[in-house]
Amino acid sequence: MAFINWSPALETKFMEIDLQHKKLVDLVNKLYDAMAASKGNEVMGPLLNELLKYTVVHFQSEERLMQSNAYPDMTKHKQLHEELKNKVLTFKQRFDSGQARITIEVMNFLKDWLAKHIQGDDVKLGGYLNSKKSAVAK
């Protein structure tokens, strides 16, 4: 059973963003599976790296869409991205140094943040982009 199940509740109705969110959900599920199976850092470390790298790529993609389509809440949305990115980078540094482990609390934080962000901020962004008939990344 997946840790996060993709459902219509997680859709922004903007295909580019939804495809990226599905990949993020898949990466979180892989990390959870590794944690639940008590895989060592040699498995979880690369998964955490992949999740972090893809999150940055996804945020950059959303921010390009916001910029190229003059999204009115862009500043606030970018700030939320920065806050999560900083938290995850700090956690990753602690993980790499052996000071932190991937636990159910960490996984629940990622799950809750992702669901809340998608269902709130990203749904608003998707609605805005869909209202712009020619919304594309430039």
Confirm if 28 and 107 have CB atoms less than 8 A apart. Answer: yes
- Evaluate if residue 134 carries a pLDDT over 70: no
- Evaluate if residue 138 carries a pLDDT over 50: no
Among candidates 54, 21, 14, 17, which has minimal Cα distance to 6? 21
pTM of this prediction? 0.91
Domains along the sequence of the chain with CATH? 9-131 (1.20.120.50)
- Summarize pLDDT for 51-68 with one digit per residue, the tens: 999 999 999 999 999 999
- Evaluate if residue 8 carries a pLDDT over 50: yes
